[in-house]
Amino acid sequence: IPLQVLTLPTSPHPDQRPGTNGLRKKTHVFQSEKNYLHNFIQCIFSSIDLRDRQGSTMVVGGDGRYFSSTAIQAIVQMAAANGVGRVVIGQNGIMSTPAVSCVIRKIKAIGGIILTASHNPGGPDRDFSIKFNTASGGPAPEAVTNKIFQLSRTIEEFAICPELRVDLGTIGKQSFDLENKFKPFTVEIVDPVESYANSLRNIFDFAVLKELLSGDNHIQIRLDAMHGVTGLYVKKILCEELGSPANSAINCVPREDFGGDHPDPDLTYATDLVETMKSGQYDFGAAFDGDGDCNMILGKQGFFVNPSDSVAVIAANIFCIPYFQHAGVRGFARSMPTSAALDMVARATKIQLYETPTGWRYFGSLMDAGRLSLCGEESFGTGSDYIREKDGLWAVLAWLSIQAVRRQSVEDIMADHWRTYGRNYYTRFDYEEVDLDAAVEMMLDLELMISDRKYQVEAADNFEYSDPVDGTLSRNQGLRVVFKGGSRIIFRLSGSDSFGATVRLYIDSYEKDINKIFQDPQVALAELVSIALQLSQIHERTGRRGPTVIT
């Protein structure tokens, strides 16, 4: 008997404006507020032209966090009712964000829905997010997210096949007959790793990497998946295929609450890995966030590679990666708050550099136009133009490829880089879950202060970006104070919070004297930090004695 398609009445929710990482809220909001989940899903489908939607293919994945399975069932039921012909889902609903982007592009899907709150914790009282990626494989551009938000303000009904149920655990195809539909609706459960792994095999020299990880003179590595989705990929690619010992990878079983921890690959939350690396037993270490798009690189004795330096090192050694030997390099890009370390490499190599607002979608626009090959953000994100998302495992394989060619340690590679290009000392202070009104008032007052120019600065502004591809203007992307010599103080409100606001303070200062490039960043930047704290009065305004996280 064909399954019934229903159109059910609903009422709008006023707070469904997607941020840079989709619609992120506390999990209980999606669970308890009437039709909150269904409204937003319907608005995603309604944002796609009906002619394009009919018979199309959609990809669904995520990091397996709490509430994902329930949400996937609803997404499939609504996809069927909205004319989508096929939905491709990672087994058990799990597929990393970079893998979703990869699959969208390979099978020419109309888009994908990713269920993740990235590095935020999961669970009934923690965070959940729904993110829409377009046919390019990248995050929906602002025009699309604005359209989704406008639809959410006026929605009156949604379409659904409530009796349709999918077995998420069995790989293969499932077909369903729907009333008034000529063709069956198909759900395809796929291995979440294989298609993505095939792409990596075409980018990196797996034979060289296997020799590095399991040959006669192999290095010792330690990889921490933090109970996120990347554990599946690390086990299959790094351990099973490239020969790294099974015990070199830890916390590789995805859990819906990430083991009760915060799946954020930084010095604050990846403490198990940091302490293990300090023992000196391992040559290379890396951690990944919940959905697999972010990474942290460590060397022996816990040597920390700042994410801004990481993308600069990859750029300086980019032809250690076979993909770029064949495809060439079109351009580099970084987000505005990211340090200018990449700028130094771009200047030396005479490769075009782009400075964008925070958000991977800005990089995607440049990639789609054929202008960009490698990019990165200070928030532990690095990637290239083979997909349209940042990619934690790609960054790790890039670093291992550089080590395999140069036969140097992480620390020596980094030291050589600073000697060649100079060093950008960099730090970031996060003040999390502060009162939103107090944060906004502080930013408004700061903007007035820096516009007065009573401080001896070279430039001060509220960063705005004109997309060189389509001319789209993005305003209010962060307050910048630029001193003579290039040192910068930046203040920005994060757009990825489910509660309150996160104020981020960034300090970036360039040093080319080789006798001064090996200082502790917090010591080297102490004076600029003091200026920033006095300028903003952030502790007084937020009621905080100090930052929640220091990177």
496 pLDDT higher than 70: no
Alpha-carbon distance 17 to 201, whole Å? Answer: 38
**DSSP output for 156-213:** -EEEE-TT----SSS-EEEEE-BTT-SS-EEEEEE-TTHHHHHHHHHHS-HHHHHHHH
Alpha-carbon distance 195 to 266, whole Å? Answer: 28
Alpha-carbon distance 355 to 376, whole Å? Answer: 10
Is-contact 157 8, C-beta < 8 A?
yes
- Tell me the average pLDDT across 62-67: 97
- Tell me the average pLDDT across 316-339: 97
pLDDT category at 455 given cuts 50, 70, 90 is very low
Question: What digits encode the pLDDT tens for the residues 423-435?
Answer: 999 999 888 888 8
| Angstrom distances, CA of residue 15 to CA of 12, 28, 439, 466 | 9, 15, 19, 27
Question: What digits encode the pLDDT tens for the residues 10-54?
Answer: 999 999 999 878 999 999 999 999 999 999 999 999 999 999 999
- H/E element, 550: strand 549-550
pLDDT category at 525 given cuts 50, 70, 90 is very high
pLDDT category at 478 given cuts 50, 70, 90 is confident
pLDDT at 21: 80
List CB contacts of 191: < 8 A, sequence separation 6 or more. 90, 91, 171
157-160 vs 111-115, strand pairing mode: unpaired
- Tell me the average pLDDT across 443-464: 74
The tokens describing 374, both together, are 């490698």
Across the chain, mean pLDDT equals: 93
Question: What digits encode the pLDDT tens for the residues 75-124?
Answer: 999 999 999 999 999 999 999 999 999 999 999 999 999 999 988 999 99
Alpha-carbon distance 81 to 85, whole Å? Answer: 10
pLDDT at 461: 84
- Tell me the average pLDDT across 463-490: 87
In 3-state terms the chain splits into helix, strand, coil percentages (rounded to 5) of: 40, 25, 35
Number of alpha carbons in the 13 Å side-chain half-sphere of residue 518: 9
3-state secondary structure 120-144: CCCCCCCEEEEEEEECCCCECCHHH
Alpha-carbon distance 230 to 366, whole Å? Answer: 27
pLDDT at 543: 81
Q: At CA 349, angle to CA 348 and CA 350, rounded to 5?
A: 95
- Tell me the average pLDDT across 211-230: 97
Catalytic, 118? Answer yes
* List 56, 96, 118, 152, catalytic entry: 118
pLDDT at 499: 63
pLDDT at 434: 82
pLDDT category at 473 given cuts 50, 70, 90 is confident
pLDDT category at 454 given cuts 50, 70, 90 is very low
Alpha-carbon distance 26 to 23, whole Å? Answer: 10
- Tell me the average pLDDT across 121-148: 95
pLDDT at 456: 64
- Tell me the average pLDDT across 332-340: 96
pLDDT at 452: 58
The tokens describing 485, both together, are 């010599």
Amino acid letter, residue 50: L
- Tell me the average pLDDT across 459-484: 86
Alpha-carbon distance 348 to 355, whole Å? Answer: 17
Alpha-carbon distance 549 to 317, whole Å? Answer: 31
Alpha-carbon distance 309 to 20, whole Å? Answer: 23
Alpha-carbon distance 37 to 10, whole Å? Answer: 11
Question: What digits encode the pLDDT tens for the residues 280-325?
Answer: 999 999 999 999 999 999 999 999 999 999 999 999 999 999 999 9
Question: What digits encode the pLDDT tens for the residues 166-198?
Answer: 999 999 999 999 997 878 999 999 999 999 999
